[in-house]
């Protein structure tokens, strides 16, 4: 569903992402991990159209969409969330989700249907008429996911949707991600909570200093000495 070939992003003399290639199959959850500053969110921004890559290609379902603006990539089938959740505080939960649906729907009636389906899968339907400003963090996180789902993505990019959640909330979020995958959407997820990545990912890609350090099955990647060193430092094994 998603193919990224040799993607790079430079800011003047700084290369934030260097020659990253990965693929995401239909119905797969791919974890993207790495220390802070590894370039993960910059990579997301280039894939989702918030930034134009300096080099490389992005294809969604076989279609080359490299460098297109975010709203066009959304219509092509790429949905994404952001680390910092910023709903439209003065709108209801339902209307926040409708904002996403209207970018993809052909009519207002279809947008309403997309909205209700997204509210249902994320468990927000009972509070659809509440103001977004009244929501605690876990529900604001779910609202961010619901708005992305309302765009009817083929591929969903999740950027640290677990940050700030307590253990029981994390468990519910894991169940939600699995339900999204089971609905037919491929998922690429950035997450720092290792128990989440190990629980949901079919494969893992590790970034470090803007480059791909490792790729493979979760257990294999987490046993890689290079990955241990990147996360825990030289002295860990000693």
Mean per-residue pLDDT of the chain: 92
Q: Of the candidates 99, 122, 152, which is a domain's last residue? A: 152
Q: 120 lies in which domain range? A: 87-152
| 103, 131, 152 - which closes a domain | 152
CATH number of the domain enclosing 172: 3.40.50.300
- With a CB cutoff of 8 Å and minimum separation 6, the contacts of 21 are 4, 5, 6, 7, 56, 212
3-state helix, strand, coil in the chain (%, to 5): 40, 25, 35
136 and 197 inside one domain: no
pLDDT band at 165 (very low <50, low <70, confident <90, very high): confident
State whether 18 and 69 are in the same domain: yes
The reply to whether 161 and 139 lie within a common domain is no
DSSP structure class, residue 103:
T
Q: What is the pLDDT of residue 76?
A: 92
Same domain, 68 and 94: no
pLDDT digits (tens, 9 = 90+) for 114-140: 999 999 999 999 999 999 999 998 899
Average pLDDT over residues 213-235: 83
* Contact (Cβ atoms closer than 8 angstroms) between residue 205 and residue 30: yes
Number of domains in the chain: 2
Q: Is the pLDDT of residue 213 over 60?
A: yes
Contacts of 53 (CB under 8 A, 6+ apart): 7, 8, 9, 17, 46, 66, 67
The average pLDDT across 160-186 equals: 90
Report the pLDDT value the prediction gives residue 84, as an integer from 0 to 100: 87
pLDDT in tens, 57-109: 999 999 999 989 999 999 999 999 998 899 999 999 999 999 999 998 999 99
Structure tokens at 232: 């825990």
The structure tokens listed for 59 are 């294809």
Asked whether residue 216 is assigned to any structural domain, the reply reads yes
Neighbouring CB atoms inside 10 A of 106's CB total 7
The pTM for the full model equals 0.89
CB 30 within 8 A of CB 11: no
> Are 97 and 150 in contact, with CB atoms under 8 Å apart?
yes
Q: Where residue 192 falls among pLDDT bands split at 50, 70, 90?
A: confident
The verdict on residue 164 lying in a domain is yes
Q: Are 163 and 148 contained in the same domain?
A: no
Calpha distance 56→65 (Å, rounded): 11
CA nearest to 180, candidates 29, 42, 11: 29
Residue 82 placed within a domain: no
Residues 49 and 128 in one domain: no
């Amino acid at each position: 569903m998603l193919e990224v070939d040799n993607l790079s992003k430079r800011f003047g003399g700084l290369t934030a992402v260097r020659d990253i290639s990965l693929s995401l199959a239909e119905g797969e959850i791919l974890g993207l991990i790495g220390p802070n500053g590894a370039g993960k969110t910059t990579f997301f921004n280039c894939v989702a159209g918030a930034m134009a890559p300096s080099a490389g290609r992005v294809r969604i379902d076989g279609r080359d969409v490299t460098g297109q603006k975010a709203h066009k990539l959304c219509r092509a089938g790429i949905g994404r969330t952001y680390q910092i959740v910023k709903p439209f505080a003065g709108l209801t939960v339902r209307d926040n989700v409708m904002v996403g649906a209207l970018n993809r729907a052909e009519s207002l009636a279809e947008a309403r249907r997309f909205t209700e389906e997204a509210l249902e899968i994320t468990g927000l339907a009972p509070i659809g008429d509440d103001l977004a400003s009244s929501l605690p963090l876990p529900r604001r996180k779910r609202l961010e996911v619901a708005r992305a789902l309302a765009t009817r993505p083929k591929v969903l990019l999740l950027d640290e949707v677990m940050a700030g959640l307590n253990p029981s909330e994390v468990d519910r979020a894991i169940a939600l991600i699995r339900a999204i995958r089971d609905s037919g959407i491929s998922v690429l997820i950035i997450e720092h909570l290792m128990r989440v990545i190990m629980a949901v990912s079919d494969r893992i890609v590790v970034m470090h200093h803007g480059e791909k350090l490792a790729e493979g099955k979760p257990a294999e990647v987490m046993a890689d000495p290079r990955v241990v060193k990147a996360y825990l430092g030289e002295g860990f094994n000693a």
